[in-house]
Structure formats: C-alpha cells, structure tokens
Amino acid sequence: MANWGFLGAGSIAASSLAPAVHAAPEARLYAVAARDGARAAALAPHRSYAAYPDLLADPEIDIVYVALHNSAHRAWVEAALAAGKHVLCEKPLGLSEAETASMARAARAAGRTLVEAAWNRWHPRTRDMAAALADGAVGRPLHVTAHFHGLAPAPDNYRRDPALGGGALYDVGYYALSATLAAFAWQTPHVAHARWERWGAASADRVVSATLAFPCGGTAEVECSLDGTLGEEFTVHGTEGVLRLSDPAFTAGADACTLTSAPAHGAADVRQYAATDPYELMVTDVDRALSGGTGFLVPTAQSRLIAQVIDAVRAEAMRADGEAGLARRAAPVGAAREPRTGG
C-alpha cells in the first residue's frame, strides 16, 4: 500500500483528491501539510504537519501530491523529488515549458516518477476519444473546436493574480489545449493568432482565444474564459466525419456523458458513459504504476508540449495586446468617428 502525503489542503485536495485516496484500494492518506491545521485534519490523514519540509522529511511517505497554487509548483515538486518521493502535481505542472522541463530533469536525476494531475485524462471517454481518433474514426482531423467557459473567480481568488499563476489559459484553457493536441496526435502547432482580455491592467487573463495551425494541415480554434458564461465544447471535423463530446466536454464525471462519432456515410456511433470518478481512477493508476504494475500516467513529454503551446499563445496574445495599445495611442483624437458628409 502506498502512503500519500499532501502539500496543501485547498478545495481540490478536500473535494476530490482526499476522497479518491481514501477510496482507492492500495492507497492511504498518510499525512497532510497545511498552514491551517483544521483544514489538514478535515482531510482525515493519519497525521498532519504545519510545515511542508516536515512532511517531505517523513520516511513513511511514498508519493507527494502537490495541491498548491500554480506558481508554487516547481519549487515544491523539485523539493519533493530531491527528498526521494514520487510526485503527482496539479495541472498545469509548470508555468512555462522551461519550468516543466526542469521538473522532468529533476525526476530523472532523483530516479522518481513525476505525473501531472490532469484528472480528466483518466476518464474513460477521454481515453476512448484519443483512441478513436488514432484509429481513424473520422478520418484525418481537419479542424477542431475547443471551448471552455468557466466560473468567474472571486475578487480575492488566486486565479485573478498573474503572480500566482492565475488566468483562464492556465486554468480552463489547459483542458481545451490538451484535448486539441491529442486530436492531432501531439503534433507541435504554430500559433497563428491569439488575443486575450483581462479583468484589469494588472490582473491575469479573463478570456483567451487562439488559432492553431498543425503540420498536417489541420487547424483549431481554442477559446477559454473565466467570465461565468458556462459551457464546454469539443468537436473534431475530419475527412470522413465528425467526432463530438457532449457538454461538459472536459470535466465529465459526476454525470453520464457521451462520445459521438458520426461518419460521413453510415450510422453514428454513440458511446454512453456512466457517472464515474476520474480522480479515483487517477490515484489507482498512479499506485499501480509505481508498484510495478500497469497504470496510465500522463507522459511528461505531453506535459511539456502543453506548456510549450501555452507559452506560444501567451507570447502571441501579449504581442497582439502591445500592438493594439500602440495603435490606440497613435490614433488621433476623434479618429474613430465617422466623417461627416453632406450639408
């Protein structure tokens, strides 16, 4: 049985990972480290720590789950690896491709396993979607539409703070980009266009849209937001049909959902999925893999590619934002008004 240690006792740890570890047959929530002792104790671990280094020094812990805000991932992932622990870290693994690569190198140097906790990758529908596209269910993908519009965070939530790794792109855009890259067999795309909007000049991004062009000739339109207009869409148009995930396209689990492959000729294949807990599937697979068995793990190469594409989208959005600002400053007063004609 694997002993798990949590760094952080926030909402995801409390609502999803702690119940999953308690439910998994070969896992035990051995320890939780958190500044708030009551929140740590609420997760029902065997023991609690007030300081993260104390948990990492515990020789009984096999795997550490990092549930901290995004900007803290790299430091504590690398500290856990150096302490000889395997690590499951919340997505996004790093705030850049460079950070993600650094963590991957640290895992290799320590001889330990590092896994990005992209929990929806363990949902059976997500796995079947990737397999169906790889098997040519709708031919060669031509165009993907991937939209994720999520809840608006509270004014004091870290998702609004760029210094803490906030923003729609890191939070919900990750899911849309991950599914899009999977549809195109993890090819590296060119970011043809990107733009973003913020809550304020010093805040993180509230809305992001991007157009991606892939080496195979396919394209994708990716949109994400944290503005409260809820909805998730994922559609693949291929040379021989259309594949579609029912809403919620990326965060299914609590309710039943479907995967529809509609070939250009013939009957549609509609696969039904009962409600399931992808978090428990993730914990179970990580336990199996680390004990020498067979269990799915998100490859770090894919985590690095997602981070690389996020880097490119952010760079293009910043470039476009800068050019728009220059254009606004250069426009003469009243330039936006229609010229008056006639008498």
From the candidates 73, 86, 91, 123, which is the catalytic residue? 91
Helices then strands, each counted (H, E), the chain: 11, 14
3-state secondary structure of 113: coil
Residue pair 295/288 in contact (Cβ under 8 Å)? The answer is yes
Count of residues making up the chain? 343
**Residue 85 annotated to the active site:** no
Q: Which residues of 30-39 are buried (b: 16+ CB within 10 A; e: fewer)?
A: bbbbbeeeeb
3-state secondary structure of 305: helix
Residue pair 217/198 in contact (Cβ under 8 Å)? The answer is no
User: 71 is written with which tokens?
Assistant: 């900007």
Q: Following CA atoms 182, 194, 303, 174 in sequence, which dihedral angle do they give, to the nearest 10 degrees?
A: -80
3-state SS of 153-176?
CCCCCHHHCHHHCCCHHHHHHHHH
Q: Which of 197, 194, 145, 211 is nearest to 167 (CA)?
A: 197
Q: Which of 221, 108, 218, 203 is nearest to 160 (CA)?
A: 203
Beta bridge partners of 273: 257
Distance CA 61, CA 87 (A): 11
3-state secondary structure of 207: strand
CA of 257: how far to CAs of 216, 270, 283, in Å? 30, 10, 22
DSSP string computed for 33-89: E-SSHHHHHHT--SEEESSHHHHHT-TT--EEEE-S-GGGHHHHHHHHHHTT-EEEE
Catalytic residues: 91
